[in-house]
Structure 1
Amino acid sequence: MSNQQPIHVFSEIGKLKKVMLHRPGAELENLMPDFLERLLFDDIPFLEDAQKEHDAFAEALRAEGVEVVYLEDLTAEALTTDEIRSAFIEEYLEEANIRGAQTKVAIREMLMNIKDNKELVLKTMAGVQKAELPEIPEESKGLTDLVESDYPFAIDPMPNLYFTRDPFATMANGVSLNHMYSETRNRETLYGKYVFKFHPEYKDADVPMVYDRSEDTRIEGGDELVLSKDVLAVGISQRTDAASIEKLMKNVFEKGLGFKKVLAFEFANNRKFMHLDTVFTMIDYDKFTIHPEIEGELRVFSVTPDGKGGLNIVEEKAALADVLAENLGLEKVELIRCGAGNVVAAAREQWNDGSNTLTIAPGVAVVYDRNTVTNKKLEEYGIRLIKIRGSELVRGRGGPRCMSMPLVREDI
């Protein structure tokens, strides 16, 4: 494989060589029942067990020859000068929605006094409780400080960060640095910005950016799939606008990443189907997992460049399996249904990310062990499964694909 670029992802199934994770941290301990919806969580994971499960996930990848790197380490390594470090802190504070000028001053001082870069990065991820800050003298308080509510955080935590798939997405030699659905998660993309701009491995590589976090329409990495070196799939979902897909595609075609077509998948807009990869993933040359509940209402559009700087958009009328086979140059593909097609098992196991597989080589996938019905069906189709526990990790509503950002895959 020729891999002179630090980003090299031309498929969903090529042998995974390097992947970025984020080990769950103190941000999970700042989840509170009253504010779960605000932070896009349904439950509160037990951090100690979540870390054990995540460490086992990372170890399973290493055992398959995958190099594992961590978002927190890459970001810390990107803060190579005092100027970059200070700029990172200021940008973080600017986006943190801090209410009260004196509160912001106190937090800036707190962060500037953290000397270790990784400790600093982890603190920005964890958020800041008001109880951590010194009491502001009454005479120094502004109006906002005086009338502020009883909300316990000066800066919200970022508990979704262990789902590294979403803040940015890799495709070919480029990156989509995303604008997220929620303000809570949009701050996560700051780490990607500093990694690709300042990290020694990436700063001189001139990594093409096919989407930018400053855009005003949303897109997330769980909706971005690389089906082949020629074809992307992007979901129109709760988290991704159709307008974003048009912007992404124009940039992909203009920057010459090699893709010739995008298949846009439109499906139900709700939390249980929040991303395309929660209902549809590729696990072999000719095999896909799919949640049967989306099939009836699913619409697929082909998007190609029109040669004039615009796009041709055509709705595909054929069955999904036929559309995929045609676009992948195959006689046929198999759609392996979550829950083996049983309506109860499918609903239960899709909620626990039975369709959210991480393929690490053709026909080899990482899955949660708890999805027994779906896993048995995958094995009947000849898929080798690497089963990991996810009793705590799954409480954030994400599976192995959600928790991983491929940086390098072998070509297929």
Structure 2
Amino acid sequence: MNQPIQIFSEIAPLKRVLLHRPGAELENLMPDYLDRLLFDDIPFLDQAQKEHDFFAETLRNRGVEVLYLEDLAAETLTTTGAKEAFLEDYLNETTILDEEIRNEVRNFFLSIEDNRAFIDHTMAGLKKSEVEISKASNLTAIVETEYPFLIDPMPNLYFTRDPFATIGHSVSLNRMYSATRRRETLYGKQIFTHHPMFARNETNFLYHRDETTRMEGGDQLILSDKIVAIGISQRTEVASIEKIAETIFATEPSFEHILAFNIGEERKFMHLDTVFTMVDHDKFTIHPEIEGELSLYSITKHKDSVRVFEEKDTLENILCRYLDLPEVLLIRCGGDDLAAAAREQWNDGSNTLAIAPGEVVVYDRNTITNRLLKEAGVKLNEISGSELVRGRGGPRCMSMPFIRE
């Protein structure tokens, strides 16, 4: 484990992972502003934390070291000026234009002496009622007077897979689809640049948050040490895949092919890993609704350039060819029942987290998909997710692997 990032597989035994335990940011969700924050409902925080703690303990019981985003971020703030520098980046990502208000907000955050409490509060957002604001000096500063927040909460942060993703020994620090999630990547930038675990090796970034086209980690799957799958989706653009392909091929020499899955731009699909995940060397979960419609393209390293082909074959045959397998099994989310498939995909039945070949973590509520996984010989570690699932993400969404064997 001399490399802090080592991800060349979706299924190799998981050794170290990053999570974020849901916090006060969930209690700052309000019914009138759910769309703004990409939520459909408001989870009950106490229960969501119990479910998340059980998820973390399930991983620990299987030999996985669990790290927390909020802890690592706080541990980067110990040097002189580090907190102030992070706060300036953070404030630059807000909509606060009035300099007087910005100074008040800056003073509020810098008054929080404990680094972990400081990080927690940046994640939770800032209500107008928490800060003494003198009269605003310009019109822009006083519009939206009914809106209760100076700085929005970040309720999606417990889906640590999306803001940054690990590929090989490198990091894709992503440009998020929605402005409300772009601040999340600040924590990744801070950790991978300044935390001692990563700074001593100088992290290689395959993509950066300042790129102009969007990319999210739920669309990035590592099928083998040669194959990366990336979804063309609501959250990831074609141009982003072309950009990252160049940097992957240039700096991660083991990878030879990128398979681009065009899954469409519907919110119910959102990311590739909500409709397709790898659970064993030759087994995959899939949402049946994308099977017939799926367009798939291969981007292949060729000397000093890349070649792009549209794959004209079944998904099974394409996977067999690229992964050098005699056959593969596609396990349908919800089976052949369209109603069950829609319901269980909405509840992240396809969003499995492999912690070893043929062993996964799943939500217990997706009973049909889970039965089919068991029948296929996959070992399940079931967790409750009645509150966590309200954010529309499952075990893979909630985990960012750092090291697999």
TM-score w.r.t. the length of structure 1 is 0.97
Could you say which residue in structure 2 is the equivalent of 1:333?
Answer: 328
1:53 aligns with 2:65: no
* Match 1:291 to one of 287, 294, 300: 287
Q: Which amino acid aligns with 1:19?
A: V
| Aligned length, in residue pairs | 405
* Match 2:230 to one of 199, 219, 234: 234
1:252 aligns with 2:248: yes
Could you say which residue in structure 1 is the equivalent of 2:312?
Answer: 317
Could you say which residue in structure 1 is the equivalent of 2:115?
Answer: 117
What's the offset of the Cα at 1:82?
A: 2.5
CA distance in 1, matches of 2:112, 2:138: 26
Could you say which residue in structure 2 is the equivalent of 1:171?
Answer: 167
Query: For the Cα contact (< 8 Å) 1:73–1:118, is it kept in 2?
Result: yes
Could you say which residue in structure 2 is the equivalent of 1:156?
Answer: 152
CA distance in 1, matches of 2:16, 2:191: 16
CA distance in 1, matches of 2:124, 2:100: 21
What's the offset of the Cα at 1:355?
A: 0.2
CA distance in 2, matches of 1:274, 1:146: 35
1:380 aligns with 2:378: no
What's the offset of the Cα at 1:147?
A: 4.2
Within a 5 Å distance, the mapping from 1:12-411 to structure 2 comes to 12-136=10-134, 138=135, 141-308=137-304, 310-410=305-405
CA distance in 1, matches of 2:341, 2:142: 51
CA distance in 2, matches of 1:311, 1:74: 37
1:184-237 residue CA offsets vs partner (Å, 9 max, x unmatched): 001100000010110011001122110011101000000000000000000000
CA distance in 2, matches of 1:256, 1:59: 33
1:72 counterpart SS class? helix
CA distance in 1, matches of 2:336, 2:250: 41
1:10 aligns with 2:8: yes
Sequence identity of aligned pairs in percent?
59
Query: For the Cα contact (< 8 Å) 1:99–1:148, is it kept in 2?
Result: no
Query: For the Cα contact (< 8 Å) 2:112–2:118, is it kept in 1?
Result: yes
Query: Does the C-alpha gap of structure 1 residues 147 and 229 become closer, same or farther in structure 2, counting only changes over 3 Å?
Result: closer
2:285 counterpart SS class? strand
1:228-257 residue CA offsets vs partner (Å, 9 max, x unmatched): 000000000000000000000100011134
2:236 counterpart SS class? coil
CA distance in 1, matches of 2:370, 2:148: 42
What's the offset of the Cα at 1:148?
A: 4.5
1:59-89 residue CA offsets vs partner (Å, 9 max, x unmatched): 0000001000000001011113121211000
CA distance in 1, matches of 2:293, 2:400: 29
CA distance in 2, matches of 1:23, 1:371: 23
1:148-204 residue CA offsets vs partner (Å, 9 max, x unmatched): 431110000000000000000001111100000001001100000010110011001
Query: For the Cα contact (< 8 Å) 1:31–1:44, is it kept in 2?
Result: yes
What's the offset of the Cα at 1:105?
A: 1.3
CA distance in 2, matches of 1:170, 1:307: 25
2:380 counterpart SS class? strand
Q: Which amino acid aligns with 1:66?
A: V
1:341 counterpart SS class? coil
Query: For the Cα contact (< 8 Å) 1:18–1:409, is it kept in 2?
Result: yes
148-157 vs 332-341, which deviates more?
Answer: 148-157
5+ residue gaps, structure 1? none
List structure 1 segments (4+ residues) > 6 angstroms apart after TM superposition: none
Query: For the Cα contact (< 8 Å) 1:351–1:397, is it kept in 2?
Result: yes
2:81 counterpart SS class? helix
CA distance in 2, matches of 1:66, 1:156: 33
1:327-346 residue CA offsets vs partner (Å, 9 max, x unmatched): 11110110000001211100
CA distance in 1, matches of 2:88, 2:385: 36
What's the offset of the Cα at 1:135?
A: 3.9
5+ residue gaps, structure 2? none
CA distance in 1, matches of 2:336, 2:79: 55
Query: Does the C-alpha gap of structure 1 residues 196 and 372 become closer, same or farther in structure 2, counting only changes over 3 Å?
Result: same
